[in-house]
Structure 1
Amino acid sequence: MSTDRTILTVSGELDMDTAPHLTQAADVLDLPGQTLALDLSDVTFVDSSGLNALLAVRHRVNVAGGTLELIGLCEQALHLLDLTGTRSLFTLRTGR
């Protein structure tokens, strides 16, 4: 298993206007067997479109044999994961 780790930093709101940018950014990364860490410390809001983007990125990374880590989620985003029952699908880390 590779210990390579790529960090992608996201900031602002992750919503229907910005979520496609996240999935597009993840699509251009070549991460077979690697860890993709999304640093979301500067994300202030996540809606259902943002959650769908996170799930899509998770699926892409998993298919490539890698893992996805979410770093520094705001309380609102954590609440969204809890409400939708998706929190257990992600590896969550605090800090940067």
Structure 2
Amino acid sequence: MDLNLHVQGRIGGGTVIVARGDLDYGAADRFRLCVERALQPPPGVLYLDLRLVTFVDSSGIGALVSAHKQAERAGSRLVLESPSEALLRTLRTAGLVSFFGLPPG
């Protein structure tokens, strides 16, 4: 399934990127570009709504790590909001749960 991305403002501030589908090799560059654009100008907090992400491969994990670093460089904070179970499993396997500030197990 392709990755659909939708950027919107959030009541109370910040910007939200809603992702739906597969965050994989074919979508990673588009995801990175979407994050880059959402950080112009820096929103303070960039929320990634990932509840509808159905699959993540190593390229997708790389894109999430890159998003975290992009947000830091822009002076924003990145928040993974409601990550899907598929994404949580992959983050646990990669040892990145604490990197993204998610609760363990």
- The verdict on a shared fold, with TM-score over 0.5 as the criterion, is yes
- Tell me the TM-score normalised to structure 1 length: 0.85
Which runs of 5 or more structure 2 residues have no equivalent in the other structure? 1-11
The verdict on how the C-alpha distance between 1:39 and 1:74 changes in structure 2, with shifts beyond 3 A counting, is same
Q: CA 1:75–1:23 in structure 2 vs 1: closer, same or farther (change >3 Å)? A: same
The whole-number CA distance in structure 2 between the counterparts of 1:44 and 1:34 is 28
Q: How many residues align?
A: 91
**RMSD across aligned positions (CA):** 1.8
SS in 1 for 2:17: strand
Identity of aligned residues (%): 34
Q: Which residue of 2 aligns with 1:10?
A: 19
Aligned 1:29-48 pairs, distance under 5 A: 29=38, 30-32=40-42, 34-48=44-58
Q: Which fold has the larger relative contact order, with Cα–Cα distance below 8 Å and residues 6 or more apart in sequence?
A: 1
Deviation at 1:35, TM superposition (A): 0.4
Structure 1 partner of 2:60: 50
Per the normalisation by structure 2, the TM-score is: 0.78
Which deviations, in whole Å up to 9, do the C-alpha atoms of 1:32-62 show, x marking residues without a partner? 3610001111111111111000000100001
Moved over 4 A (4+): none
